Amino acid sequence: MARAVQTTSRNVEVLLVHDVDNLGQRGEIVRVKPGFARNFLLPQGKATVATLQNKRMVEKHKERLAAIELGRVKQLQRIADAVSKYSATIEAHATPENHLYGSVVARDISEALKAAGHPVEAEHVRLDGPIKELGMYTVKLKFHDKVQGEVKVWVVPSATSG
């Protein structure tokens, strides 16, 4: 048991320059055996020695990334709030029984919102399936893990129908 403690204390800290499978992501500081660092990670440029200066640089970089991410989340929340107050209208060709000849998909909703000045991409729109009938729908939007919203979508018959 004492030998295991002695072995772990001989590990060295390295700063990963690239993602390394089963070890860590770029920018992480990990503890590895000296031979693994000396014979593989350092010569292949996958890691560098985790000096005090390198550790400080990594922390500053992480703080900058966190600040950028926070700003991005706030901007996405503003977009979600604005979109939730809006209702999109999409014209579609339909039968007299209100069934659409085609369907309304995420791309159609995204284009309608973009035309109204809301920067919503198709991948933000969460539909259970394509919309195939006229009517009003509440469509979920997911901008980020922390930012979600909804938009009202009216599917109305096209003026050129009939």
CB 105 within 8 A of CB 92: no
CA 152 to CA 92: how far, in whole Å?
16
Q: What letter represents residue 118's amino acid?
A: H
| Burial category of 91 from C-beta neighbours within 10 Å (exposed 0-12, middle 13-18, buried 19 and up) | middle
Stretch(es) of the chain classified as CATH 3.40.5.10: 2-67
pLDDT band at 44 (very low <50, low <70, confident <90, very high): very high
> If you classify domain 86-157 with CATH, what class do you get?
alpha beta
The dihedral formed by the CA atoms of 64, 62, 121 and 116, expressed in degrees to the nearest 10: -20
Q: Which fold has domain 2-67?
A: Ribosomal Protein L9; domain 1 (3.40.5)
Over residues 112-158, the pLDDT tens digits come to 999 999 999 999 999 988 999 999 999 999 999 999 999 999 999 98
For 43-81, b/e burial (b = at least 16 CB within 10 A) is eeebbeebeeeeeeebeeeeeeeeeeeeeeeeebbebbe
Stretch(es) of the chain classified as CATH 3.10.430.100: 86-157
Residues paired with 88 in a beta bridge: 153
Residues paired with 148 in a beta bridge: 142
pTM: 0.65
